[in-house]
């Protein structure tokens, strides 16, 4: 029996320390610029936000803010019906826009996958709304959904005769959900398409050919071969889309401003309006924190569930 003695003995403590110092000296100029920026402008605002949420915050003179403990949170959860309207609208937006975007994006990707003329052009046209800024497309949708003789009203009233009369899309609670959600879907489909197309093209041909030999028809191949292989893509896409849906803001702000009577507020527009219209800065901060916590909890849950499913 041969016993192997470790040939590398641990370095003496002083030499180990000097090596670590050298490592630090080499790495510091690379790591520190980014790390300092993240600490000052990402982490510190979160800590500051937790502090601010405990005050009746005075923006012009922060030192004169009044400490009110958890009153802002109590107010949000128990005394403020509009907060719950914003929660409802935000969740509704996520529930409607996320699955529709996924289905349409996957559908477009399936249609584009395979031999097809002009694929680059189709892909570019579908992606156009994704690269255009929210500000621009929000104004365009405000125009399309104008009251009275706006293009959307004209189409549904005078051409396809689905609506008996023009709808004041941007000025009533429930109709206003339509332009907001349609805009979100329209702007998001192209992104979904590109992600799913990339995933579809990474599926080896042999798998589909083998399934054909086994007598599987197109539908069976799609549901039994393709869809299971797309599972990681579905998970990635749904996390990104749900977080994105919770961030819906500029379209609501520009299309309805949260009105009429705050009935179309989502959490971020409500946060903003509390701070800059109501000048209730601390309460606005609190609404933002509650949304942030929701997104974080959701993200961790999703990761937990995903990991469980993979095991």
Min dist CB 95 to another protein, Å, is 18
- Of the pair 263, 286, the CB lying nearest another protein is at 286
> Which of 176, 191, 185 has its CA nearest to residue 99?
185
Q: Cβ of residue 3: shortest distance to another protein, in angstroms?
A: 31
Residue 184 DSSP SS3: helix
Closer to another protein by Cβ: residue 177 or 186: 186
| Nearest distance in Å: CB 59, another protein | 7
In the chain, DSSP finds a helix count (H) and a strand count (E) of 15, 2
HEC per residue, 226-249: HHHHCHHHHHHHHHHHHHHHHCCC
Shortest Cβ distance from residue 86 to another protein (Å)? 13
Instruction: Specify whether the CB–CB gap between 264 and 177 falls below 8 A.
Output: yes
Nearest approach, Cβ of 1 to another protein (angstroms)? 37
Q: Minimum distance from CB of 204 to another protein (Å)?
A: 18
Residue 218: asked if its preceding bond is cis (omega within 30°), the reply is: no
Query: In degrees rounded to 5, what are phi and psi of residue 83?
Result: -55, -45
Residue 288 exposed, middle or buried by CB count within 10 Å (0-12, 13-18, 19+): buried
- Which residue, 4 or 165, has its beta carbon nearer to another protein? 165
Between 1 and 239, whose beta carbon lies closer to another protein?
Answer: 239
Tell me the residue ranges of DSSP E strands in the chain. Answer: 55-56, 66-67
Which residue, 264 or 273, has its beta carbon nearer to another protein? Answer: 273
Q: Smaller CB distance to another protein: residue 5 or 221?
A: 221
What end-to-end distance do the CA atoms of the chain give, in Å?
Answer: 40
User: Which class for 284: exposed (0-12), middle (13-18), buried (19 or more C-beta within 10 A)?
Assistant: buried
């Amino acid at each position: 029996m041969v016993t192997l003695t470790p040939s590398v003995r641990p370095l003496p403590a002083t030499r180990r320390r000097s090596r670590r110092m050298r490592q630090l000296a080499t790495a510091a100029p690379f790591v520190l610029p980014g790390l300092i920026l993240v600490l000052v402008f990402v982490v510190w605002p979160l800590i500051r936000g937790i502090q601010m949420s405990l005050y009746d915050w005075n923006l012009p003179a922060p030192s004169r803010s009044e400490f009110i403990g958890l009153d802002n949170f109590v107010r949000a959860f128990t005394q403020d019906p509009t907060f719950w309207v914003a929660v409802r609208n935000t969740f509704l937006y996520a529930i409607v826009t996320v699955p529709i975007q996924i289905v349409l994006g996957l559908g477009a990707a399936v249609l584009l996958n395979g031999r097809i003329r002009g694929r680059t052009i189709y892909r570019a046209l579908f992606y156009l709304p994704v690269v255009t800024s929210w500000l621009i497309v929000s104004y365009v949708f405000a125009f399309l959904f104008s009251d009275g003789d706006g293009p959307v009203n004209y189409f549904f009233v005078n051409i396809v005769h689905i609506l008996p009369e023009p709808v004041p899309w941007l000025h009533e609670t429930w109709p206003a959900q339509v332009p907001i959600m349609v805009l979100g879907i329209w702007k998001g489909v192209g992104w979904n398409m590109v992600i799913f197309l990339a995933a579809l093209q990474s599926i080896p041909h042999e798998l589909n050919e083998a399934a054909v030999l086994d007598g599987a028809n197109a539908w069976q191949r799609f549901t039994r071969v393709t869809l299971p292989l797309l599972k990681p893509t579905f998970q990635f896409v749904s996390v990104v889309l749900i977080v994105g849906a919770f961030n819906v803001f500029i379209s609501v702000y520009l299309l309805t401003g949260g009105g009429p009577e705050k009935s179309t507020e989502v959490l971020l527009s409500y946060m903003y309006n509390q701070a800059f219209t109501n000048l209730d800065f601390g309460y606005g901060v609190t609404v933002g924190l509650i949304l942030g916590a929701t997104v974080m909890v959701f993200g961790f849950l999703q990761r937990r569930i995903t990991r469980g499913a993979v095991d």
